Amino acid sequence: MTQHTARHVDQLLSGHPLARITSGRRSRVRNAAVGGALRSRHLTGRAVDVAGPLSVLRHLAAAAAVTGASEILLERVGVRGQHLHVAWDR
């Protein structure tokens, strides 16, 4: 994870013990294995995926917008799961 991304992630997750990082920087092999985009910001350490209760993820998505995040995606995974993808341009 870049220092810039790590700083934002630390701020976002502070005070949210139910939220956990499920993915940060990925290798090309790992990115392909999880179906990541060819130009995923995970490859350069500028993205993070977070899991947790939906109410927490919605709060984090709103907070991420204030940090200047360039990508904020709240995605459903499976029947009851969800995760928040947040990325920054630098």
Q: What is the pLDDT of residues 16-37, one digit of tens each?
A: 999 999 999 999 999 999 888 9
As a whole number of angstroms, the distance between CA 67 and CA 54 comes to 20
Expressed as residue numbers, the domain containing 13 is: 3-87
| pLDDT at residue 77 in the model | 75
Could you tell me the CATH number of the domain that includes residue 38? 3.30.1380.10
| pLDDT at residue 75 in the model | 86
Q: What is the pLDDT of residues 25-84, one digit of tens each?
A: 999 999 999 888 999 999 999 999 999 999 999 999 999 999 899 999 998 877 667 899
DSSP state of 38: T
DSSP state of 53: -
Residue 4 scores a pLDDT above 80:
yes
Specify the number of domains making up the chain. 1
Please, is 21 exposed, middle or buried when counting C-beta atoms within 10 Å of its C-beta (0-12, 13-18, 19+)? middle
